[in-house]
Amino acid sequence: MRRTSLVLSVFLVALIAAAGSAQAQSATDSFSVTAANQGIFLFNIVGTSFDFGTLTADGTTSSTGVAGARNGANNGATYTAAGVTTWTCNSAPSRTVRVFNASTTATINWGTADRLSLQIPSAGLPSGSTSCGYKTFTTAGDGGVGSCGSGNLVHSVATGNGSNAATGSLDLRLDVLDADTTGANTWTVVLTASGA
């Protein structure tokens, strides 16, 4: 009798387990996920203005402390201000960037707009960057990839995002001639970064 009860108990447990398996169910479905990466391309000039101050054709230090030097070749003086401001370019994905002079507006009371020249030095930029030297104010426009043509101030700048962003500086040079009348000039300097 005990053996029959044991067999019967095992049979009932197996039967209950089989019934539980028959009742278990599962189903699967899916949905889609979409994300569009806009990317990043930002260019920011840190400074908002720079004042050469009051200066003379003799090249004496200006009222704001910019050093000048008599330039006999042009019968006047040249004032040079290095690092008047800095700029930063962020890009994700990374790009090779050029920065060009896009300036068009100046109010001139003495000399010409081209008495002001601009330069982005390669110092501090990623390896492989090429400075195009000083360009006069009206030498403007995009000279294209890998070129110092037109208004390009620097090219071949490897630019990324975050700690890989490119940061550079801007130098200015101003010529004052003996023949210039008195007064104040104002230039609006516009720089454009373009990357591929």
Give domain limits for the chain: 40-49+75-195
pLDDT (0 to 100) of residue 68:
98
Nearest partner of 103 among 117, 89, 91, 93, judged by Cα: 117
Cα(169)–Cα(140) distance, integer angstroms: 18
The CATH number assigned to the domain with range 40-49+75-195 reads: 2.60.40
Contact call for residues 155 and 133 (beta carbons, < 8 A): no
Q: What is the pLDDT of residues 121-163, one digit of tens each?
A: 999 999 999 999 999 999 999 999 999 999 999 999 999 999 9
Q: Which is more confident, 70 or 3? A: 70
Average pLDDT score, the chain: 92
pLDDT tens digit sequence for 76-128: 999 999 999 999 999 999 999 999 999 999 999 999 999 999 999 999 999 99
In this structure, are residues 74 and 33 in contact, taking their beta carbons and an 8 Å threshold? no
Looking at per-residue pLDDT, the higher value among 12 and 187 belongs to 187
pLDDT band for position 5 (cuts 50, 70, 90): low
* Token pair in block for residue 41: 């391309």
What's the confidence (pLDDT) of residue 73?
Answer: 84
Please give the torsion angle defined by the CA atoms of residues 103, 107, 110 and 113, in that order, rounded to the nearest 10 degrees. 10
pLDDT at 160: 98
Look at residue 16 in the predicted model and tell me its pLDDT.
54
| Residue 137 or 23, more confident | 137
Range from 21-30, 46-55, 76-85 carrying the lowest mean pLDDT? 21-30
